[in-house]
Chain A
Amino acid sequence: MTGAVSTAKPRKQNRDRGFLTGAAITLTFIAFAFVSLFWTPYDVAALDIGAQFSAPSPSYWFGTNHLGRDVLSMIMVGAQTSIAVAFLAVGIGLVIGVPLGLCAAAFGGVVDEALMRSGDLIFAFPAIILAILITAIFGATATNAIVAIGIFNIPVFARLTRGAAMPLWTTGYVMAARTAGKNRFAISAEHIFPNLAHLLIVQTTIQFSLAILAEAGLAYVGLGAQPPTPSWGRMLAESQTMVSFAPWLVLFPGLAIFTFVLGLNLVGDGLRHRLDPRRERGL
């Protein structure tokens, strides 16, 4: 890792800057969502037809929509939806996928083969098609969006866990634990899992940002959270026809998705450099 270009110091600074920017963005959005639980500049459920299509101004920073609702307030509440859906969907992936991956690595053979092939089966479906199928069949609700996105996170975490756990089973301390008579479950929990935690944290951040994008996409085609729950993807879909005279309606929700995902990715990159130095790459 002693590259020909030795710029260790600025490199680290850059990376820190990226990580800190990302962390700041992510925390801002989480704070937005949290604050919006108690307070928003305007009530997102109230109608004010008189203030329809107000351009961004000191009283409405991001303007208002066709119902006179404040776009900033809706984006703040929309952050709740995005974060909740992504959190639960990635949670499904972690809670189911990681134990499956650990089992596959621990037992190998038929168990491993069966689990990995089921993963292949899920990967064989173009993600968006299956998500649309699920939400279209079982109804367009936030819950079904969570399930649809969550299903895809299961094999992601299962594969990652299995791949990283396999080599650990041949290490000395695992051998030692086995000769000491510990069973495979205990070893997975006590020795294998802690050594994977860093990988999982990095992957979780990445999957979280992907889930935000997926939720926005589903909401955009009308298959995510339903009105009156504000959602960034649906805000875009609803205001598309008005883009030519009220561009702020399309601009700000899109920017919200973009910025949040960017922030999460920056955090993910930063974490990877810190927690997974083997894959460190200078800037």
Chain B
Amino acid sequence: MARRQTSLFACCLRAAVALVAGLCVMASPANAAGALNVGVQLEPPNLDPTSGAAAAIDEIVYANIFEGLTRITEDGAAAPALATDWTISADGRVYEFKLRRGVRFHDGSDFDADDVVFTLDRARSATSTNAQRPIFEQIETVTAIDPFTVRITLKQPLGAFPVYLGWGDAVIVSRESAATNASHPIGTGPFKFQRWRKGASVTLVRNDDYWGTRPPLDQINFIFIPDPTAAFAALMAGDVDGFPNYPAAENLALIERDQRFQIVFGAGEGEMLVAINNAKPPFDDIRVRRALNHAIDKQAVIDAGLFGYGTPLGSHFSPHHPAYIDLSNRYIYDPVKARRLLSLAGVGDDFALTLTLPPPAYARRGGEIVAAQLEAVGIDVTVRNLEWAQWLDQVFSNKSYDLTIVSHTEPLDIDIYARDNYYFQYKNEGFNHVIDELRETSDTAQRNQLYGKAQRILANDAVNVWIASSPKIAVWSRDVSGVWADAPLQANDFTKADIANRAPVLAVNAMKPAFPVFAIWLIAATIGAAAVYFSRASPAFLLSRLAGMAATLAAASGVIFLLIEVAPGDPAAFMMGLNADPASIAALKAELGLDQPALVRYFTWIGGLASGDFGVSYTYRVPVADLIAERFWVSLPLALLAFLISTAIGIAAGVMAAALRGRPGGRAIITAAQAGVAVPNFWLAILLVLVFAVGLRWFSAGGFPGWDAGVLSGLKALFLPAIALALPQAAILTQIMRTSMLDVMDNDYIRTARAKGLSQSQVLRRHALRNAMIPVLTILGLQFGFLLAGSIIVENVFYLPGLGRLVFQSIVQRDLIVVKSIVMVLVFIVILTSFFIDLAYGVVDPRLRRRGAS
């Protein structure tokens, strides 16, 4: 008997393994080639580099989709692009650009001087949302001399003007498509935009009409992987061909040993620094700032915060620039001296400060070391971790901070120290004078000398504690070639990139998945009508439940709106990025309707919800309904799959445990269920990834190929997350099912049924199960809502582009209109589910039809 059971079990196991293996084979990866799959850490808020400062935009579109008059080459210089050459007048104010002929935008329209005039006028207009508007405002006039010559007159000489024109903020856009570039960028570059799957990826395809050399790649997929762990997992699982900026430096030693990968170290423009609020006492005292500089051991911060990958800095300048001066030993690590300086400055033993940290790993990890080192010189440090939006609001905009750690990634940005009201709150007329001089100098040697002077002044004033210049660490598959090593801009130029071992390009369905809201209403209404019909609930009961539903929805919407209202952080400021100009922020606010009174916005929102118009996302600039619909098709199948798994396991195991009461089998099930209830689902998820994706490589470590890649590969991507979500829930269900079964089985009618000669299993099936389902139904209803919403954490482990991830990203990005709507949709689903469960009681138990169950 025992042997038969074993072999039966073995058969089942073999069948399961075969099924899994079959799924693996059938679901071929979505890795198309000639296609390069590039992992990037941050998803851009939109794809228009001329209306936002997010570096994540340039990382995708710069040089690939959009081109400027000039372009920045790998060594940081300005080279001809859409301008073939240019002349500068003797006074340095008038530039004349000769334009390239035969260039066409991706929409087929021709490129000429009119586009240049339009682009530059737009960037410097009063309603411009360009993050570098102050630079464009230096332009006095832009005129088209002929279709292929443009003359630009500046208000004052601007030495680095050709370099500025090579920045992403200055790419040339066409009048016809400028307004829609945020969601569908049209440029002149070697690649065309094809598709943006929000939260997941952006796909570019080769522009066969390109004026320059034909790029080797057919397609580039930028895949968004914000979490360092997921990045590592995706690399190991082969989901991506590499990362231009690999976020998990701690794994590099491991990757180095793996024959499949190459690590490329390049010069980066990131200056990691401990910023000091120079205007806030006691930090306005240079002795205190110098003490801080002596108290922090840069190398230790580099070792722990950047895992050893960094060059110590002594001022705000990239070591890769010819004008760099090594000032890293200006303040050597000397805690004794730091203490002495502090006591000289009169800040004694009770000196306390707050160290505010934004989310990136380098800041959080580096922050721990900095805090410990400051404690070591007798400073009482409170560490405060903020989300980006809160950091921008409190530190960057309101300057309410003592110290913070952040990396400045813009190239050659030493002039930020001359800005009024910049968050360092540093003021030095001498320094401002050097920057003014620099602005008017175009001679390279002279400029470099001025840069040197500026660096020395900053170091001398100990404005900040500069920690390190972090290298650009790229990890690529050995098959990849022709990618940039250095990063003079935060951009990834794939013009010359190639990948060996090409596989055919997968046909990507470029059609946007339309998801009309009336379809949801229709589906809900149909299911509702069916449920009402089959449950035969009384009209009075239905009416009271519907009224209750409406009241709860109204109350919930009020609560959500109020919570969001009091949330700190200005979405417009967040969208514009670090160096944005206040006037641009105001313009954007008006554009988004954020300047309306609260009550108006509430009713606009509620009215829109009912009609399916959820508004437009602040960050993605697409209708919120579309955004939610896209994610819905990941979260809903995931929740359903998890629900099926959990219900199947839970009911089967619960019934079995009841049937085997008092026997070893039953006890084993109970023990397993007790253990299952105690397992945190995200821990289970990590362990599953470790075993089945990183170890056995049966599944990919995460990501979602999209349903167009095939139902099987879609389901396969959802399988591990569904298991992680389902098992703890199944354990709960098992316990409840068992208890409920035992309750029922103690009843007289069961004993009667047994007495009249029915077998145990017949009794279970015919009499007990149906009655035992009633309390179980309640739990099922609760579980469905939980699974749908609870996936938020598990979706993060597997970087699935679902609703949970969307709500979390939206909170972080202060895309409040999305947050409101998602929470509302989830609340709606929970309420709807409980309504259906009430109706289901009637189906299961005719006695409950009339009164329902409350």
Chain A residues within CB distance 8 Å of chain B = 1, 3, 5, 7, 11, 14, 45-47, 49, 52, 66-67, 117, 120-121, 123-130, 132-134, 136-137, 139-140, 209, 213, 216-217, 220-222, 226-228, 233, 236, 240-245, 247, 250, 254, 257-259, 261-262, 265-266, 269, 279, 281-283
* CB-contacts of B686-714 with A (<8 A): 686-687, 690, 694
Point out the residue from B367, B560, B661, B786 that lies within 8 Å of A5, measured CB to CB. Answer: B661
B559 in contact (CB, < 8 A):
yes
B742 touching A126 by the CB < 8 A rule? no
A47-B368, A126-B789, A254-B680 known; A282 vs B662 contact (CB < 8 Å): yes
Give bound CA distance, A96 to B231, whole Å: 44
Docked-complex contact B679 and A125, CB < 8 angstroms: no
Contact B662 A283 (CB under 8 A): yes
Pick the residue among A129, A136, A137, A244 that contacts B826 (CB under 8 A).
Answer: A129
- Chain A residues, Cβ within 8 Å of B390: 139
In the bound complex, do residue A121 and residue B556 qualify as a contact, i.e. CB atoms below 8 Å apart?
A: yes
Smallest distance from the beta carbon of B709 to chain A beta carbons, Å? 27
B384 interface residue (CB < 8 Å to A):
yes
Q: Which residues of A contact B694 (CB under 8 A)?
A: 243-244
Per the bound structure, the CA–CA distance linking A120 and B568 in Å amounts to 28
B385 & A47 in contact (Cβ 8 Å cutoff): no
Contact between chains at B680 and A257 (CB < 8 Å): yes
Q: 3 smallest A-B Cβ distances: which pairs?
A: A126-B789, A240-B229, A261-B678
Instruction: Given A5-B661, A281-B742, answer yes or no on A132-B786 (Cβ-Cβ < 8 Å).
Output: no
A7: nearest residue on chain B (CB-CB)? B662
Is the Cβ of B796 less than 8 Å from the Cβ of A241?
Answer: no
Kindly provide the distance from the CB of A14 to the nearest chain B CB, expressed in whole angstroms.
7
> If the complex has contacts A265-B677, A282-B662, are A227 and B563 also in contact, measured as CB distance less than 8 A?
no
Q: Within the complex, which residue of B254, B551, B566 is in contact with A137, where a contact is CB–CB below 8 Å?
A: B566
**Which residues of chain B come closer than 8 Å to A259, judged between CB atoms?**
678
A262 touches B678 (CB 8 A): yes
Contact present for A241 and B229 (CB under 8 Å): yes
Q: CB distance A228 to B830 under 8 Å?
A: no
Against A, the Cβ 8 Å flags (1 = close, 0 = not) of B547-558 are 010011001100
Interface of B with A (CB < 8 Å)?
227-229, 231-232, 236, 248, 250-251, 253-254, 300, 303-304, 307, 359, 364-365, 367-369, 371-372, 375, 383-387, 390, 548, 551-552, 555-556, 559-560, 563-564, 566-568, 661-662, 666-667, 670, 674-675, 677-680, 682-683, 686-687, 690, 694, 738-739, 742, 746, 785-786, 788-790, 792-793, 796-797, 807-808, 811-812, 819, 823, 826-827, 830-831
- Which A residues touch B687, using CB under 8 A? 250, 254
- Pair B250/A242 contact, Cβ less than 8 Å: yes
A137/B228 contact (C-beta < 8 A), A242-B250, A243-B690, A244-B254 known? no
The smallest C-beta distance from B835 to any residue of chain A, in angstroms, reads 11
Q: In the complex the two chains form, is A133's CB within 8 Å of B680's CB?
A: no
Residues of A within 8 A of B563 (CB): 133-134, 137
Q: Is the CB of B682 within 8 A of A220?
A: yes
Contact A245 B680 (CB under 8 A): no
Closest to A263 in B: B678
Q: Once the chains are docked, how many angstroms separate the CA of A241 from the CA of B694?
A: 12
Given A136-B811, A222-B359, A258-B680; A125-B674 close (CB under 8 Å)? no
Note all chain B residues with C-beta closer than 8 A to A47.
300, 304, 368-369, 372
Is the CB–CB distance between B831 and A132 below 8 Å?
no
Given A213-B680, A241-B228, A221 and B739 touching (CB < 8 A)? no
A45 to B555, CA, bound (A): 45
The reply to whether A228 and B792 form a contact with Cβ atoms under 8 Å apart is: no
Chain A residues, Cβ within 8 Å of B560:
133
* CB < 8 Å neighbour of A126 from B228, B385, B686, B826: B826
Known contacts A129-B826, A241-B228, A227 near B364 by CB under 8 Å: yes
A216 to chain B, nearest CB (A): 5
- Please, could you name 10 A-B residue pairs with CB atoms under 8 Å apart, sorted by A? A47-B300, A128-B786, A132-B807, A137-B564, A222-B385, A227-B385, A245-B253, A247-B690, A254-B680, A265-B678
Query: What is the total of A-B residue contacts with beta carbons within 8 Å?
Result: 194
Return chain A residues, CB-CB under 8 Å to B831. Answer: 124
Smallest CB–CB gap between A99 and chain B, Å?
22
Taking a contact as CB atoms under 8 Å apart, the answer to whether B682 and A128 are in contact is no
| A contact residues around B789 at 8 Å (CB) | 126-129
How long is the Cα–Cα vector from A254 to B678 in the complex, in angstroms? 10
A225 to B296, CA, bound (A): 26
- Inter-chain CA distance A222–B365, complex, in Å, is 14
Q: Known contacts A67-B304, A126-B789: does B661 contact A3 (CB below 8 Å)? A: yes
Q: Which residue of B lies closest to A266 (CB)?
A: B674
Provide the bound-state CA to CA distance between A92 and B799, in Å: 34
Known: A126-B788, A209-B678, A262-B678. Contact between A136 and B661, CB under 8 A?
no
Q: Are A244 and B674 in contact (CB under 8 A)?
A: no
Q: Give the docked Cα–Cα distance between A66 and B667 (Å).
A: 42
Residues of B within 8 A of A269 (CB): 674
- Give the docked Cα–Cα distance between A7 and B666 (Å): 14
Q: Chain A contacts of B792 at CB under 8 A?
A: 128-129, 132, 221
In the bound complex, CA of A221 to CA of B359 (Å):
11
B569 vs chain A, min Cβ distance (A): 9
Check A220/B662 contact, CB under 8 A, given A67-B368, A134-B563, A244-B254: no
Residue numbers in A under 8 Å from B677 (CB-CB): 261-262, 265
A117 touches B552 (CB 8 A): yes
Query: Told that A7-B662, A124-B830, A137-B568 touch, could you supply 16 new A-B pairs with CB distance under 8 A?
Result: A3-B662, A5-B661, A11-B662, A49-B303, A117-B552, A127-B786, A132-B792, A133-B563, A133-B823, A227-B364, A228-B368, A241-B248, A244-B254, A250-B687, A258-B678, A265-B678
A213 contact set on B, CB distance < 8 A: 678, 680
> Which residues from B are CB-within-8-Å of A266?
674
Q: Which of B227, B367, B387 has the most CB of A within 10 A?
A: B387
Question: Which residues of the partner chain B approach A242 to less than 8 Å between Cβ atoms?
Answer: 250-251
Q: Is the CB of B823 within 8 A of A67?
A: no
Q: Are B823 and A125 in contact (CB under 8 A)?
A: yes
Report the separation of the CA atoms of residues A180 and B792 in the bound assembly, to the nearest whole angstrom: 55
Asked if residues A124 and B300 are in contact (CB atoms below 8 Å), the reply is: no
- B567→A121 contact, CB < 8 A: no
Residue pair A125, B670 in contact (C-beta under 8 Å): no
Q: Which residue of B lies closest to A116 (CB)?
A: B854
Q: Contacts of B556 on A, CB cut-off 8 Å?
A: 121, 124-125
List residues of chain B with CB within 8 A of the CB of A240: 227-229, 686, 797
Measured CB to CB, the closest approach of chain B to A114, in angstroms, equals 11
Contacts of B827 in A (CB 8 A): 124-126
Q: Which residues of chain B are near A66, meaning CB under 8 Å?
A: 250, 304, 307, 365
B385 and A140 within 8 A (CB): yes
Instruction: Decide yes or no: A45 and B385 within 8 Å by CB, A129-B792, A261-B678, A265-B678 being known contacts.
Output: no
State the Cβ distance, B728 to closest chain A Cβ, in Å: 9
Q: State A129–B666 Cα separation when bound (angstroms).
A: 36
Q: Complex: how many Å from CA A45 to CA B374?
A: 12
What is the CB-to-nearest-CB distance from B795 to chain A, in angstroms, rounded to a whole number?
Answer: 11
- Asked if residues B369 and A67 are in contact (CB atoms below 8 Å), the reply is yes
Contact A132 B811 (CB under 8 A): yes
CA–CA, A136 and B563, complex, Å: 11
Q: How far is the CA of A121 from the CA of B560 in the complex (A)?
A: 11
- CB-CB under 8 A from B386, the residues of chain A are 139-140
Instruction: State how many angstroms separate the Cβ of B684 from the closest Cβ of chain A.
Output: 9
Q: How far is the CB of B825 from chain A (nearest CB, A)?
A: 11
Residue in contact with A120 in the complex, picked from B365, B552, B678, B812, CB distance below 8 Å: B552
In contact, A46 and B383 (Cβ under 8 angstroms):
no
Which of B304, B369, B548, B679 is within 8 Å of A117, CB to CB? Answer: B548
Q: Of A120, A134, A227, which is within 8 A of B367 by CB? A: A227
Q: With A47-B369, A282-B662 known to touch, is A236 a contact of B686 (CB < 8 Å)?
A: yes
A247 to B683, CA, bound (A): 12
Nearest B-chain residue to A136, judged by Cβ: B811
Contact at A126–B662, with CB atoms within 8 Å? no
- Find out whether the CB atom of A258 lies under 8 angstroms from the CB atom of B830: no
Establish whether residues B746 and A258, one from each chain, have CB atoms under 8 Å apart when the complex forms: no
CA distance A136 to B367 in the complex (A): 21
